[in-house]
Amino acid sequence: NSKRQGRNTFSFYTEKMSEILARRLQLESMMQSALERNEFSVFFQPQFDLKTKKLLGAEALLRWNSNRLGPISPAEFIPVAEQNGYIVEMGKFVLREALANAQTWQQDLPYPLRIAINLSPRQFRDVRLLHDLQKFMANNVDPKVQIELEITEGLLLSGDDSVKSTLYQLHDLGFMLAMDDFGTGYSSLSYLRQYPFDVLKIDKSFVQDMGHDSGIQLVNTIISMAHGLGLKVVAEGIETEEQMELLTKLGCDVGQGFYLGKPMPSNVFDELITHFRSLSVGS
Ligand code: C2E
Ligand code: MG
Ligand code: MG
Ligand code: MG
């Protein structure tokens, strides 16, 4: 009997695995034409100064609305694109879209707009990255726009010296650097000191854990230590007013999350810009 059960378990897993594999292959086969058919778009999620409640800018987030499968989450397709290399092409698309919009929005804002862009390890290691970023900067963007590049801990853990040198070059070129999803990997704050980061993004799992005292203490510690290292702190995944208020009290600099604003298409973000322009002109 136990033998039989074992076999059933085995076939359950192989079925599950071939399902996952089939889906992966399907996404992969659709990716190239999806790029050509404009199924991708870039959404923008607003970021606010928690103290002044001023709109600071946005994080650019890639969206895929497939003609055949409907919306597909980046959590699903980015790892596939990362593996087959399409991420480099997609990343250029995000950069182009994000910077074109930032350029327009900046003209309407009396203060510098920041635009955050995610870079995955494959993009980061692409030799053309520095060149492309430099070109985009030089030709398309108002120098007032602050471009923040978000990377995750995984990239650093490769222990690769060229990663460090690329980070320093990007920083010297005027890009701000953010450590995304901090706390989900293995790196410590003191480890980050050897890199030229400007911003630390506290992962949403920590924000969502602030329902009890130990969770609040942990976030408090991260914020104080980050400030001690001269880093600005962004909290992501703020879903409630309580979370926003707590984070503000703890001195967190910037807030992002569904409570403050969901990722939205650029024409909807236009309205936010218009609103904040009128506020700043009025004051
Ligand atoms: P991320 O960079 O950490 O982006 C934040 C994710 O949290 C986004 O998911 C956003 O929609 C979601 N989020 C924002 N506020 C809340 C909230 O209050 N509650 C909850 N539960 N979630 C919230 P999204 O857009 O699905 O992206 C998932 C991940 O895919 C991103 O995580 C990023 O790692 C990757 N990604 C997205 N766009 C790009 C891109 O253009 N390039 C690269 N390389 N990666 C991207
Ligand atoms: Mg991010
Ligand atoms: Mg994140
Ligand atoms: Mg992430």
For residue 117, count other CB atoms closer than 10 A to its CB: 24
Q: pLDDT by residue (tens digit) across 185-210?
A: 877 888 888 999 999 999 999 999 99
Specify the higher pLDDT residue, 140 or 260.
260
For residue 66, count other CB atoms closer than 10 A to its CB: 17
Task: Name the residue of 41, 42, 47, 61 whose CB sits within 8 Å of the most ligand 1 atoms, as the mutation to test its pocket.
Answer: 61
Q: pLDDT by residue (tens digit) across 245-263?
A: 999 999 999 999 999 999 9
* Rounded Cα gap, residues 102 and 131, in angstroms: 20
Backbone phi, then psi, for 160, in 5-degree steps?
A: -80, 130
Task: Name the residue of 118, 119, 180, 247 whose CB sits within 8 Å of the most ligand 1 atoms, as the mutation to test its pocket.
Answer: 118
Specify the higher pLDDT residue, 171 or 15.
171
Angle, nearest 10°, between helix axes 74-84 and 2-36?
80
Q: Which residues surround ligand 2, an ion (CB under 5 A)?
A: 118, 150, 180
For position 283, what pLDDT does the model report? 47
SS3 content of the chain, % helix, strand, coil (to 5): 55, 20, 25
Instruction: Quote the pTM value.
Output: 0.93
**Mean pLDDT across the chain, nearest whole number?**
91
CB-CB contact of 234 with 201 (8 Å)? yes
Q: pLDDT by residue (tens digit) across 210-245?
A: 999 999 999 999 999 999 999 999 999 999 999 999
Give, using CA atoms, the residue closest to atom 12 of ligand 1.
237
